[in-house]
Structure 1
Amino acid sequence: MNMTDLLAKIRKQQPLIHNITNVVVTNFTANGLYALGASPVMANAKEEAGEMASIANAVVLNIGTLTKEQVESMISAGKAANEAGVPVVFDPVGVGATPFRTKSAQAILEQVNVSAIRGNAGELANLAGVSVEVKGVDSSGEFDMDELVSLAYKKLQVPLAITGPLDYIIDGTRKAVISNGHPLLTKVTGAGCLLSSIVGAFLAVEKDTFKAMTQAVYCYGVAAEEAAGKAHLPGDFQIELLNQLYAVTDELVAEKAKVVFENLGSERD
């Protein structure tokens, strides 16, 4: 399997990525997709969300700033995408923080066949309803990631990207652990949300969900490392990240990617 060949495909095909995302990150997400080579569209109105999804190459549903109407639009878009064979990425931002947010996430998963879920460890633990012990007496919030990844996939049965200091990709038969990235990503609002949309761009050009998710995550991590080498403050880093998403190549990623693969054997039940 060639694990560094999808950036060129994105730039050649310029896939249309339909984002129903949160108001905090809309501009950054659109600019990030443009920089990568994809074409973003943000159509939130329930009157057109389904129609737009059916003509897109991927749909991204992000619950960062929820409203009842937006959930309805997400479900409409997700169902239309399913009917059209368009991949759907779900980003469960802040799930577990309130009953409304949790019930909304559950409603989306019940009514939409999502292709992939991208979130942090806490979000995926809450979404899957699994308990994982906090390591250490300082309650640092560090999960036993191997346990969490396994339990979350077993419960959700959807390919997952669980991102943090290390990033984990799992599809039931394969797992990847990625160590690319930079701490400055945590100082920029919407860095994770943009990654979810970039996952959508990679899924738009690659049917192997595991391959698409893995390449998306470590390409993004390499771009972040390159950006951090040129900009050392959060504001500068945000701009430079866009520059490096534009500049990064499959060849650079092949050289810089830090990923370990594990074959998990047969599909888990």
Structure 2
Amino acid sequence: MNVNAICTALAQLREQAPLVVNITNYVVMNNSANALLAIGASPIMAHSREEMAEMMAFAGALVINIGTLDRTWIERMTFAVEQANEAGKPVVLDPVGCGATSLRTNTARQLAALAKHLIVRGNASEIIALAGQTSQGKGVDSQDPSEAALEAAKQLVEQYQAQVVISGATDYVVSNEGTFALNNGHPMMTQVTGTGCSLSAITGAFAAIGETSGLAAAAVMGVVGEIAAEQTKGPGSLQVALLDALYNLDADTLTQRLKLSQLT
């Protein structure tokens, strides 16, 4: 995929305004919903088992974020993935804090194994832990550089027939079609909770219109993060500026700013 294809996917997303079902943590529900609205998608934060089969029949994608995890959430997430499978819809898994506790690690692996059309979006430590390797995470924060997760990502691609997005100073997108590196974004993005979660939600929006590699979402989020950081002085205003940049992003800006390279 090149920048022209990414711009085309963005235009299609805004034209189709796909519905994205999110089972996400309490901390970032508002962030994720607003990011989806700003990019042009339609979010719904649906957690009820009673409506999930009906919801997934007409939604475009399912985003699962394990940030605030307990047994009730796990049962809801499992059922939602089963319904997404039944409807043939893509599942984006954000394995928040995978590697921090056995509950998070085991749940992330179980959900990954269950999903038939899987995209994993996480930081390097989460990706490494999901693959069963030793990571350096601290809670939900990564202590591993993104490039350290490349081999783990390739393992997940093979193990789960997944697409994998590794977030970090350099973002990597790994699939059977190759490995891409994106060098946009800004360090201030790590000082705002939910930035990665917003990327996962946007990954779901692109997946809903058929762009299931994760590359377009990572490209968009990196560019808008860069733009937002140039316009703000700190993480508080960065949150608002990110939404504005998502809303105002156009093909010319994306083409001029995107730093994309294919490694393999």
TM-score where L is the length of structure 1: 0.89
* Counterparts of 1:107 and 1:150, CA distance in 2: 18
Paired with 1:77 and 1:50, the residues of 2 have a C-alpha distance of: 7
Q: 2:49 aligns with which of 22, 25, 46?
A: 46
Unaligned runs of 5+ in 2: 138-142
**1:170-189 alignment to 2 at 5 Å?**
170-189=174-193
Whether the 8 Å contact between 1:17 and 1:40 is mirrored in structure 2 is: yes
Q: Offset at 1:237?
A: 0.5
DSSP 3-state at the match of 1:48: helix
Q: Distance in 1 between matches of 2:136 and 2:239?
A: 33
Give the Å deviation of 1:262. Answer: 3.2
Cα 1:130/1:157, change in 2 over 3 Å: farther
Q: Name 2:83's counterpart in structure 1.
A: 80
From the CA coordinates, give the structure whose radius of gyration is larger: 1
Superposed CA deviations along residues 31-54 of structure 1, whole A, max 9, x for unmatched, are 111111000001112222332222
2:140 aligned partner: none
Range moving further from structure 2, 20-29 or 80-89: 80-89
Counterpart-to-counterpart distance in 1, 2:244 and 2:99: 34
- Which residue, out of 3, 6, 17, partners 1:3? 6
2:189 and 2:201 map into 1 onto residues whose CA distance is 15
Cα pair 2:84 2:91 within 8 Å, conserved: yes
Q: Deviations for 1:171-224, whole angstroms, at most 9, x for unmatched residues? A: 123110000111111011000001000000111112x522xx111101111111
Q: Tell me the matched-pair count.
A: 255
Secondary structure of the 1:144 match is helix
> 1:199 maps to what in 2?
203
Contact 1:52 1:77 survives alignment (8 Å):
no
Other structure's SS at 2:49 match: coil
Q: Report matched runs for 1:251-266 at 5 Å.
A: 251-263=252-264
Q: What is the letter of the counterpart of residue 102 of structure 2?
A: P
Give yes or no for contact 2:171–2:183 (8 Å, CA) kept in 1.
yes
Partner of 2:231: 230
- Give CA deviations for 1:145-187 in whole Å, capped at 9, x if unaligned: 4444434434443110011000010112311000011111101
Counterpart amino acid of 1:216?
A: A
CA contact under 8 A between 1:20 and 1:74: conserved in structure 2?
A: yes
Query: Residue 132 and residue 187 in structure 1: after superposition, are their counterparts in 2 closer, same or farther (change >3 A)?
Result: closer
**Percentage of identical aligned residues:** 40
The gaps in structure 1 that reach 5 residues or longer are 135-139, 264-269
Please point out which of 127, 136, 140 is paired with 1:124. 127
Query: Measured at CA, do residues 122 and 223 of structure 1 come closer, stay the same or move farther in structure 2, by a change above 3 Å?
Result: same
3-state SS of 1:60 partner: strand
1:164 equivalent among 160, 164, 168? 168
The answer for the alignment partner of 1:266 in structure 2 is: none
Shift of residue 81, structure 1, vs aligned partner: 1.1
